Amino acid sequence: MKEKFKSMETAVVHAGYDAKDHLGSLTTPIFQTSTFTFDSAEQGEKRFAGEEEGYIYSRLGNPTVRALEERIAELEEAEAGLAFGSGMAAVSAILMSITKSGDHILCSQGIYGCTFGLLQLMKEKYYITHDFNALETEEEIEKQIRPETACIYVETPINPTMKLIDLELVAKVAKKHGILVVVDNTFSSPYLQQPLKAGCDIVLHSATKYIGGHGDVIAGLAAGKKERIHSIAMTTLKDVGGVISPFDAWLLLRGMKTLPVRMDRHCENAVYIVEQLEKHPAVKSVFYPGDEAGGDYAIMQKQMRKGGGLISFEINGSKQQAQKLLNDLSLIKIAVSLGDAETLIQHPATMTHSGIPEQTRNKMGISDKLIRLSVGLEAKEDIWEDLKQALDQV
Ligand SMILES: *Cc1c(COP(=O)(O)O)cnc(C)c1O
Protein backbone atom coordinates (compact mmCIF):
# COMPACT_ATOMS: atom_id res chain seq x y z
CA MET A 1 0.00 0.00 0.00
CA LYS A 2 1.42 3.35 -0.97
CA GLU A 3 -0.46 5.50 1.51
CA LYS A 4 -0.17 5.64 5.26
CA PHE A 5 -2.42 7.95 7.20
CA LYS A 6 -1.79 8.89 10.80
CA SER A 7 -5.45 8.84 11.74
CA MET A 8 -8.52 6.96 10.64
CA GLU A 9 -10.56 10.18 10.49
CA THR A 10 -8.29 11.35 7.66
CA ALA A 11 -7.96 7.97 5.96
CA VAL A 12 -11.74 7.52 5.58
CA VAL A 13 -11.84 10.75 3.57
CA HIS A 14 -8.70 10.43 1.45
CA ALA A 15 -7.33 6.88 1.26
CA GLY A 16 -7.31 5.23 -2.15
CA TYR A 17 -7.97 8.36 -4.17
CA ASP A 18 -6.00 11.27 -5.58
CA ALA A 19 -7.89 13.98 -7.49
CA LYS A 20 -4.76 14.59 -9.59
CA ASP A 21 -5.32 11.26 -11.31
CA HIS A 22 -8.83 12.25 -12.38
CA LEU A 23 -8.86 15.79 -13.86
CA GLY A 24 -9.15 17.28 -10.38
CA SER A 25 -12.50 15.68 -9.61
CA LEU A 26 -12.92 16.07 -5.85
CA THR A 27 -14.91 12.85 -5.47
CA THR A 28 -14.08 9.49 -7.04
CA PRO A 29 -15.56 9.20 -10.54
CA ILE A 30 -17.95 6.30 -11.18
CA PHE A 31 -16.40 4.17 -13.93
CA GLN A 32 -19.69 2.70 -15.09
CA THR A 33 -18.19 0.43 -17.70
CA SER A 34 -18.17 -3.32 -18.17
CA THR A 35 -14.97 -3.49 -20.20
CA PHE A 36 -11.80 -1.56 -21.09
CA THR A 37 -10.38 -1.09 -24.57
CA PHE A 38 -6.78 -1.99 -25.41
CA ASP A 39 -4.57 0.24 -27.58
CA SER A 40 -3.37 -2.80 -29.47
CA ALA A 41 -3.63 -6.57 -29.64
CA GLU A 42 -0.18 -6.75 -28.02
CA GLN A 43 -1.32 -4.63 -25.09
CA GLY A 44 -4.26 -6.99 -24.60
CA GLU A 45 -1.85 -9.93 -24.58
CA LYS A 46 0.38 -8.23 -21.99
CA ARG A 47 -2.55 -7.35 -19.70
CA PHE A 48 -3.82 -10.92 -19.73
CA ALA A 49 -0.31 -12.22 -19.09
CA GLY A 50 0.00 -9.86 -16.11
CA GLU A 51 3.01 -8.18 -17.71
CA GLU A 52 1.36 -4.79 -17.87
CA GLU A 53 -0.78 -3.05 -15.24
CA GLY A 54 -4.21 -1.96 -16.40
CA TYR A 55 -7.85 -2.80 -16.49
CA ILE A 56 -9.37 -5.57 -18.64
CA TYR A 57 -12.97 -6.21 -17.62
CA SER A 58 -14.90 -4.94 -14.57
CA ARG A 59 -15.35 -8.37 -12.97
CA LEU A 60 -11.54 -8.50 -12.76
CA GLY A 61 -11.13 -4.93 -11.56
CA ASN A 62 -12.54 -1.44 -11.93
CA PRO A 63 -11.03 1.94 -10.94
CA THR A 64 -13.93 3.01 -8.67
CA VAL A 65 -13.90 -0.40 -7.00
CA ARG A 66 -10.11 -0.26 -6.69
CA ALA A 67 -10.30 3.04 -4.80
CA LEU A 68 -12.71 1.40 -2.34
CA GLU A 69 -10.43 -1.63 -1.95
CA GLU A 70 -7.45 0.58 -1.18
CA ARG A 71 -9.49 2.50 1.36
CA ILE A 72 -10.64 -0.57 3.31
CA ALA A 73 -7.06 -1.90 3.28
CA GLU A 74 -5.90 1.38 4.80
CA LEU A 75 -8.64 1.35 7.46
CA GLU A 76 -7.90 -2.24 8.50
CA GLU A 77 -4.13 -1.62 8.28
CA ALA A 78 -3.90 -4.45 5.76
CA GLU A 79 -1.69 -5.01 2.74
CA ALA A 80 -4.69 -5.38 0.42
CA GLY A 81 -8.46 -5.04 0.26
CA LEU A 82 -11.22 -6.57 -1.84
CA ALA A 83 -14.83 -5.57 -2.55
CA PHE A 84 -17.83 -7.87 -3.12
CA GLY A 85 -21.46 -7.58 -4.20
CA SER A 86 -22.67 -8.46 -0.68
CA GLY A 87 -21.39 -9.43 2.73
CA MET A 88 -22.35 -13.03 1.95
CA ALA A 89 -20.39 -12.90 -1.32
CA ALA A 90 -17.36 -11.99 0.82
CA VAL A 91 -18.03 -14.75 3.38
CA SER A 92 -18.55 -17.41 0.69
CA ALA A 93 -15.62 -16.38 -1.51
CA ILE A 94 -13.26 -16.37 1.50
CA LEU A 95 -14.44 -19.69 2.96
CA MET A 96 -14.43 -21.42 -0.45
CA SER A 97 -10.95 -20.10 -1.09
CA ILE A 98 -9.36 -21.32 2.13
CA THR A 99 -11.05 -24.72 2.54
CA LYS A 100 -11.20 -27.97 0.60
CA SER A 101 -13.35 -31.06 0.88
CA GLY A 102 -12.73 -32.85 4.20
CA ASP A 103 -11.69 -29.72 6.08
CA HIS A 104 -13.19 -28.46 9.32
CA ILE A 105 -14.13 -24.89 10.33
CA LEU A 106 -14.26 -23.92 14.01
CA CYS A 107 -16.81 -21.15 14.60
CA SER A 108 -17.76 -18.80 17.37
CA GLN A 109 -20.94 -19.70 19.19
CA GLY A 110 -23.51 -17.76 17.25
CA ILE A 111 -22.91 -16.42 13.77
CA TYR A 112 -24.92 -14.55 11.16
CA GLY A 113 -27.92 -16.60 9.96
CA CYS A 114 -26.89 -16.84 6.30
CA THR A 115 -23.30 -17.74 7.25
CA PHE A 116 -24.86 -20.59 9.21
CA GLY A 117 -26.81 -21.54 6.06
CA LEU A 118 -23.64 -21.46 3.96
CA LEU A 119 -21.80 -23.72 6.43
CA GLN A 120 -24.71 -26.14 6.28
CA LEU A 121 -24.50 -26.19 2.48
CA MET A 122 -20.73 -26.68 2.55
CA LYS A 123 -21.18 -29.64 4.86
CA GLU A 124 -23.87 -31.31 2.78
CA LYS A 125 -22.35 -30.69 -0.64
CA TYR A 126 -18.60 -30.53 -0.06
CA TYR A 127 -17.95 -32.48 3.18
CA ILE A 128 -16.56 -29.40 4.91
CA THR A 129 -17.66 -29.73 8.53
CA HIS A 130 -17.95 -27.14 11.28
CA ASP A 131 -18.48 -26.72 15.01
CA PHE A 132 -19.88 -23.89 17.07
CA ASN A 133 -18.61 -23.48 20.55
CA ALA A 134 -17.39 -21.09 23.18
CA LEU A 135 -13.83 -19.94 22.50
CA GLU A 136 -13.13 -18.39 25.87
CA THR A 137 -9.91 -20.00 27.08
CA GLU A 138 -6.78 -21.34 25.45
CA GLU A 139 -7.63 -24.91 26.52
CA GLU A 140 -11.17 -24.61 25.21
CA ILE A 141 -9.90 -23.51 21.78
CA GLU A 142 -7.03 -26.04 21.74
CA LYS A 143 -9.23 -29.04 22.35
CA GLN A 144 -11.53 -28.17 19.45
CA ILE A 145 -8.80 -27.87 16.84
CA ARG A 146 -8.48 -31.04 14.77
CA PRO A 147 -5.84 -32.05 12.24
CA GLU A 148 -8.31 -31.13 9.48
CA THR A 149 -9.27 -27.73 10.95
CA ALA A 150 -8.53 -25.13 8.27
CA CYS A 151 -9.67 -22.00 10.03
CA ILE A 152 -11.33 -20.39 13.00
CA TYR A 153 -14.23 -18.19 11.92
CA VAL A 154 -15.42 -15.63 14.44
CA GLU A 155 -17.84 -12.77 14.87
CA THR A 156 -17.30 -10.40 17.75
CA PRO A 157 -19.54 -8.99 19.11
CA ILE A 158 -21.58 -12.12 18.43
CA ASN A 159 -24.91 -11.50 16.73
CA PRO A 160 -27.32 -11.09 18.50
CA THR A 161 -26.09 -12.00 22.00
CA MET A 162 -23.36 -9.31 21.96
CA LYS A 163 -20.84 -11.60 23.65
CA LEU A 164 -17.20 -10.86 22.81
CA ILE A 165 -14.35 -13.08 21.71
CA ASP A 166 -10.77 -12.30 22.65
CA LEU A 167 -9.22 -11.93 19.20
CA GLU A 168 -5.63 -11.87 20.43
CA LEU A 169 -6.16 -15.16 22.27
CA VAL A 170 -7.80 -16.87 19.28
CA ALA A 171 -5.06 -15.63 16.95
CA LYS A 172 -2.34 -16.85 19.30
CA VAL A 173 -3.75 -20.40 19.51
CA ALA A 174 -4.44 -20.51 15.75
CA LYS A 175 -0.88 -19.44 14.94
CA LYS A 176 0.47 -22.24 17.10
CA HIS A 177 -1.48 -24.73 14.98
CA GLY A 178 -0.79 -23.03 11.66
CA ILE A 179 -4.43 -22.28 10.92
CA LEU A 180 -6.11 -19.09 9.75
CA VAL A 181 -8.43 -16.79 11.67
CA VAL A 182 -11.22 -15.08 9.73
CA VAL A 183 -13.16 -12.32 11.49
CA ASP A 184 -16.53 -10.92 10.48
CA ASN A 185 -16.05 -7.34 11.72
CA THR A 186 -19.46 -6.05 10.57
CA PHE A 187 -20.76 -5.13 14.02
CA SER A 188 -17.77 -2.97 14.94
CA SER A 189 -16.53 -1.48 11.68
CA PRO A 190 -12.80 -0.74 11.39
CA TYR A 191 -13.30 2.41 13.43
CA LEU A 192 -14.11 0.43 16.58
CA GLN A 193 -12.06 -2.74 16.02
CA GLN A 194 -9.13 -3.83 13.80
CA PRO A 195 -8.80 -7.62 14.00
CA LEU A 196 -5.63 -7.84 11.87
CA LYS A 197 -3.80 -5.82 14.51
CA ALA A 198 -4.74 -8.53 17.02
CA GLY A 199 -3.01 -11.09 14.77
CA CYS A 200 -5.99 -12.39 12.78
CA ASP A 201 -5.51 -13.20 9.08
CA ILE A 202 -8.58 -12.05 7.16
CA VAL A 203 -11.17 -9.47 8.13
CA LEU A 204 -14.50 -9.11 6.35
CA HIS A 205 -17.50 -6.82 6.50
CA SER A 206 -21.05 -6.68 5.39
CA ALA A 207 -20.49 -3.13 4.12
CA THR A 208 -24.28 -2.95 3.87
CA LYS A 209 -24.22 -2.02 7.55
CA TYR A 210 -22.02 0.61 9.26
CA ILE A 211 -19.57 1.12 6.39
CA GLY A 212 -22.29 2.14 3.93
CA GLY A 213 -24.23 3.54 6.85
CA HIS A 214 -27.29 4.80 5.00
CA GLY A 215 -29.31 1.68 4.25
CA ASP A 216 -29.06 2.11 0.49
CA VAL A 217 -26.56 -0.52 -0.66
CA ILE A 218 -25.80 -4.24 -0.31
CA ALA A 219 -22.05 -4.88 -0.39
CA GLY A 220 -19.11 -6.69 1.18
CA LEU A 221 -15.46 -5.93 1.90
CA ALA A 222 -12.43 -7.91 3.00
CA ALA A 223 -8.79 -7.20 3.84
CA GLY A 224 -5.65 -9.17 4.61
CA LYS A 225 -2.23 -10.14 3.26
CA LYS A 226 -1.62 -9.23 -0.38
CA GLU A 227 -1.01 -12.75 -1.61
CA ARG A 228 -4.13 -14.19 0.01
CA ILE A 229 -6.40 -11.35 -1.10
CA HIS A 230 -5.03 -11.64 -4.64
CA SER A 231 -5.72 -15.36 -4.62
CA ILE A 232 -9.36 -14.80 -3.57
CA ALA A 233 -9.72 -12.05 -6.20
CA MET A 234 -8.48 -14.31 -8.97
CA THR A 235 -10.46 -17.45 -8.00
CA THR A 236 -13.58 -17.40 -5.86
CA LEU A 237 -14.35 -13.75 -6.58
CA LYS A 238 -13.53 -13.69 -10.31
CA ASP A 239 -14.81 -17.17 -11.17
CA VAL A 240 -17.82 -17.39 -8.84
CA GLY A 241 -18.56 -13.78 -9.66
CA GLY A 242 -19.93 -11.97 -6.60
CA VAL A 243 -18.55 -8.59 -7.68
CA ILE A 244 -19.72 -5.13 -6.63
CA SER A 245 -21.02 -2.58 -9.14
CA PRO A 246 -19.05 0.68 -9.64
CA PHE A 247 -22.04 2.69 -8.40
CA ASP A 248 -22.34 0.68 -5.20
CA ALA A 249 -18.59 1.06 -4.66
CA TRP A 250 -19.07 4.81 -5.01
CA LEU A 251 -21.89 4.77 -2.43
CA LEU A 252 -19.54 3.06 0.02
CA LEU A 253 -16.71 5.54 -0.65
CA ARG A 254 -19.23 8.28 0.10
CA GLY A 255 -20.62 6.63 3.22
CA MET A 256 -17.18 5.82 4.64
CA LYS A 257 -16.19 9.46 4.82
CA THR A 258 -18.47 9.93 7.83
CA LEU A 259 -17.83 6.53 9.47
CA PRO A 260 -15.96 7.83 12.56
CA VAL A 261 -18.44 10.69 13.08
CA ARG A 262 -21.40 8.34 12.75
CA MET A 263 -19.89 5.63 14.94
CA ASP A 264 -19.20 8.10 17.76
CA ARG A 265 -22.86 9.14 17.72
CA HIS A 266 -24.17 5.55 17.42
CA CYS A 267 -22.08 4.64 20.49
CA GLU A 268 -23.09 7.71 22.49
CA ASN A 269 -26.78 7.03 21.80
CA ALA A 270 -26.40 3.32 22.61
CA VAL A 271 -24.78 4.02 26.01
CA TYR A 272 -27.71 6.30 26.88
CA ILE A 273 -30.33 3.74 25.78
CA VAL A 274 -28.57 0.98 27.76
CA GLU A 275 -28.69 3.15 30.91
CA GLN A 276 -32.43 3.70 30.45
CA LEU A 277 -33.19 0.06 29.59
CA GLU A 278 -31.41 -1.18 32.70
CA LYS A 279 -33.75 0.93 34.84
CA HIS A 280 -37.00 -0.19 33.19
CA PRO A 281 -39.03 -2.85 35.05
CA ALA A 282 -40.15 -4.60 31.85
CA VAL A 283 -36.54 -5.34 30.92
CA LYS A 284 -35.06 -8.58 32.25
CA SER A 285 -31.50 -8.20 31.00
CA VAL A 286 -29.44 -6.00 28.70
CA PHE A 287 -26.49 -7.12 26.60
CA TYR A 288 -24.03 -4.43 25.52
CA PRO A 289 -20.24 -4.76 25.17
CA GLY A 290 -19.69 -1.28 26.58
CA ASP A 291 -21.47 -2.14 29.81
CA GLU A 292 -18.94 -1.95 32.66
CA ALA A 293 -20.95 -4.48 34.67
CA GLY A 294 -21.02 -6.93 31.73
CA GLY A 295 -18.77 -9.98 31.68
CA ASP A 296 -16.81 -8.96 28.58
CA TYR A 297 -15.86 -5.42 29.54
CA ALA A 298 -12.16 -6.24 29.85
CA ILE A 299 -12.10 -7.72 26.33
CA MET A 300 -14.00 -4.69 25.04
CA GLN A 301 -11.38 -2.37 26.48
CA LYS A 302 -8.57 -4.43 25.00
CA GLN A 303 -9.80 -4.65 21.42
CA MET A 304 -12.56 -2.11 20.83
CA ARG A 305 -12.47 1.67 20.88
CA LYS A 306 -16.07 1.86 22.19
CA GLY A 307 -19.01 -0.47 22.79
CA GLY A 308 -20.78 -0.02 19.43
CA GLY A 309 -24.30 0.86 18.37
CA LEU A 310 -26.03 -2.49 18.89
CA ILE A 311 -27.92 -3.55 21.99
CA SER A 312 -29.79 -6.73 22.76
CA PHE A 313 -32.23 -7.06 25.62
CA GLU A 314 -34.66 -9.56 27.05
CA ILE A 315 -38.07 -8.50 28.24
CA ASN A 316 -40.03 -9.96 31.11
CA GLY A 317 -42.59 -11.48 28.81
CA SER A 318 -43.49 -13.98 26.10
CA LYS A 319 -42.83 -14.13 22.36
CA GLN A 320 -46.24 -12.49 21.80
CA GLN A 321 -45.29 -9.64 24.13
CA ALA A 322 -41.98 -9.19 22.33
CA GLN A 323 -43.87 -8.94 19.04
CA LYS A 324 -46.37 -6.51 20.54
CA LEU A 325 -43.50 -4.33 21.76
CA LEU A 326 -42.24 -4.06 18.19
CA ASN A 327 -45.73 -3.27 16.91
CA ASP A 328 -46.19 -0.50 19.49
CA LEU A 329 -43.20 1.51 18.20
CA SER A 330 -43.46 4.36 15.73
CA LEU A 331 -40.15 6.25 15.34
CA ILE A 332 -38.17 3.01 15.65
CA LYS A 333 -38.63 0.88 12.54
CA ILE A 334 -39.13 -2.89 12.51
CA ALA A 335 -36.43 -4.14 10.18
CA VAL A 336 -33.46 -6.46 10.02
CA SER A 337 -30.11 -4.95 9.02
CA LEU A 338 -28.22 -2.53 11.24
CA GLY A 339 -25.88 0.42 11.21
CA ASP A 340 -28.26 2.81 9.48
CA ALA A 341 -29.17 6.38 10.44
CA GLU A 342 -32.62 5.08 11.42
CA THR A 343 -33.02 3.12 14.67
CA LEU A 344 -34.02 -0.44 13.72
CA ILE A 345 -35.49 -3.18 15.89
CA GLN A 346 -35.94 -6.88 15.23
CA HIS A 347 -36.84 -10.17 16.94
CA PRO A 348 -33.96 -12.60 16.21
CA ALA A 349 -35.82 -15.82 17.10
CA THR A 350 -38.50 -15.21 14.45
CA MET A 351 -36.46 -13.08 12.01
CA THR A 352 -32.66 -13.17 11.47
CA HIS A 353 -32.12 -16.45 13.35
CA SER A 354 -35.41 -18.22 12.53
CA GLY A 355 -33.58 -20.60 10.17
CA ILE A 356 -31.57 -22.06 13.04
CA PRO A 357 -33.19 -25.05 14.80
CA GLU A 358 -34.73 -24.06 18.14
CA GLN A 359 -32.39 -26.22 20.23
CA THR A 360 -29.26 -24.76 18.62
CA ARG A 361 -30.76 -21.29 18.91
CA ASN A 362 -31.34 -21.70 22.64
CA LYS A 363 -27.78 -22.98 23.05
CA MET A 364 -26.64 -19.77 21.38
CA GLY A 365 -28.66 -17.73 23.89
CA ILE A 366 -31.35 -16.55 21.49
CA SER A 367 -34.62 -16.87 23.41
CA ASP A 368 -38.10 -15.72 22.35
CA LYS A 369 -37.70 -12.83 24.82
CA LEU A 370 -34.63 -11.43 23.08
CA ILE A 371 -34.85 -8.23 21.04
CA ARG A 372 -32.07 -6.57 19.05
CA LEU A 373 -31.84 -2.83 18.63
CA SER A 374 -29.59 -1.03 16.16
CA VAL A 375 -29.39 2.44 17.66
CA GLY A 376 -29.56 5.11 14.98
CA LEU A 377 -28.48 8.72 14.72
CA GLU A 378 -31.70 10.36 15.91
CA ALA A 379 -31.74 12.36 19.17
CA LYS A 380 -31.22 9.80 21.94
CA GLU A 381 -34.13 11.23 23.95
CA ASP A 382 -36.47 10.69 20.98
CA ILE A 383 -35.33 7.08 20.57
CA TRP A 384 -35.89 6.42 24.28
CA GLU A 385 -39.29 8.14 24.32
CA ASP A 386 -40.56 5.76 21.64
CA LEU A 387 -39.00 2.68 23.26
CA LYS A 388 -40.24 3.64 26.73
CA GLN A 389 -43.89 4.04 25.75
CA ALA A 390 -43.78 0.58 24.14
CA LEU A 391 -42.02 -0.99 27.17
CA ASP A 392 -44.55 0.64 29.51
CA GLN A 393 -47.23 -1.46 27.77
CA VAL A 394 -45.47 -4.82 28.33
C1 LIG B 1 -25.63 -8.58 7.28
C2 LIG B 1 -24.52 -9.43 7.74
C3 LIG B 1 -23.86 -10.32 6.87
C4 LIG B 1 -24.30 -10.51 5.44
O5 LIG B 1 -24.11 -9.36 4.69
P6 LIG B 1 -24.99 -8.96 3.39
O7 LIG B 1 -24.39 -7.68 2.99
O8 LIG B 1 -26.41 -8.86 3.82
O9 LIG B 1 -24.79 -10.05 2.39
C10 LIG B 1 -22.80 -11.04 7.37
N11 LIG B 1 -22.40 -10.92 8.66
C12 LIG B 1 -23.02 -10.09 9.52
C13 LIG B 1 -22.53 -10.01 10.93
C14 LIG B 1 -24.09 -9.32 9.09
O15 LIG B 1 -24.70 -8.50 9.96
153 neighbors 105 (Cβ within 8 angstroms): yes
How far is ligand 1, taken at its centre, from the CA of residue 372, in Å?
15
- Closest atom of ligand 1 relative to the 115 alpha carbon: 10
149 neighbors 171 (Cβ within 8 angstroms): no
- Do residues 222 and 290 both lie within one domain? no
Closest residue (by CA) to atom 4 of ligand 1?
A: 87
- Do residues 19 and 148 both lie within one domain? yes
How far is ligand 1, taken at its centre, from the CA of residue 281, in Å?
33
Q: Ligand 1: does its nearest atom lie under 6 Å from the Cβ of 339? A: no
Bridge partners for 373 per DSSP? 311, 345
Closest residue (by CA) to atom 7 of ligand 1?
A: 87
Closest residue (by CA) to atom 5 of ligand 1?
A: 87
Domain count, the chain: 2
Q: Ligand 1: does its nearest atom lie under 6 Å from the Cβ of 112? A: yes
Residue 8: its pLDDT value, please?
96
Q: Ligand 1: does its nearest atom lie under 6 Å from the Cβ of 336? A: no
271-311: pLDDT as tens digits: 999 999 999 999 999 999 999 998 899 999 999 999 999 99
Q: Ligand 1: does its nearest atom lie under 6 Å from the Cβ of 189? A: no
* DSSP state string for 166-221: -HHHHHHHHHHHT-EEEEE-TTTHHHH--GGGGT-SEEEEETTTTTT-SS----EE
- Do residues 292 and 143 both lie within one domain? no
Residue segments in the chain with a per-residue pLDDT below the cut of 50: 1
- Do residues 240 and 272 both lie within one domain? no
- Do residues 199 and 67 both lie within one domain? yes
- Do residues 163 and 248 both lie within one domain? yes
> Residues near 98 by Cβ (< 8 Å), separated by ≥ 6?
150, 151, 180, 182, 202
* DSSP state string for 276-288: HHHH-TTEEEEE-
Instruction: Please tell me the distance from the alpha carbon of residue 191 to that of residue 351, in angstroms, as a whole number.
Output: 28
Q: Ligand 1: does its nearest atom lie under 6 Å from the Cβ of 84? A: no
Residue 42: its pLDDT value, please?
98
Strands 310-315 and 370-374 come out as antiparallel
Among the candidates 256, 279, 304, a domain finishes at: 256
The DSSP 8-state label assigned to residue 243 in this structure reads P
Is 36 among the domain residues?
no
Residue 1: its pLDDT value, please?
42
Q: Ligand 1: does its nearest atom lie under 6 Å from the Cβ of 242? A: no
Q: Ligand 1: does its nearest atom lie under 6 Å from the Cβ of 206? A: yes
Which residue among 208, 217, 251, 351 has the greatest number of ligand 1 atoms within 8 angstroms of its CB, and so is best to mutate? 208
- Do residues 201 and 346 both lie within one domain? no
Residue 363: its pLDDT value, please?
80
185 neighbors 211 (Cβ within 8 angstroms): no
Instruction: Please tell me the distance from the alpha carbon of residue 276 to that of residue 129, in angstroms, as a whole number.
Output: 43
Strands in 129-133's sheet, in edge-to-edge order, are 80-84, 220-224, 202-206, 180-184, 149-155, 104-108, 129-133
How far is ligand 1, taken at its centre, from the CA of residue 252, in Å?
15
CATH code, domain with 296 = 3.90.1150.10
Domain that holds residue 322: 259-391
- Do residues 282 and 247 both lie within one domain? no
Is 328 among the domain residues?
yes
pTM: 0.96
> Residues near 85 by Cβ (< 8 Å), separated by ≥ 6?
218, 219, 220, 242, 243, 244, 245, 248
Q: Ligand 1: does its nearest atom lie under 6 Å from the Cβ of 156? A: no
How far is ligand 1, taken at its centre, from the CA of residue 374, in Å?
14
- Do residues 217 and 276 both lie within one domain? no
- Do residues 162 and 174 both lie within one domain? yes
Q: Ligand 1: does its nearest atom lie under 6 Å from the Cβ of 110? A: no
- In the chain, which ranges are continuous DSSP H helix? 8-14, 41-49, 63-75, 87-98, 113-126, 138-142, 167-177, 189-192, 226-232, 246-256, 259-279, 297-303, 319-327, 358-364, 380-391
Closest residue (by CA) to atom 8 of ligand 1?
A: 87
Is 95 among the domain residues?
yes
Residue 361: its pLDDT value, please?
86
How far is ligand 1, taken at its centre, from the CA of residue 242, in Å?
14
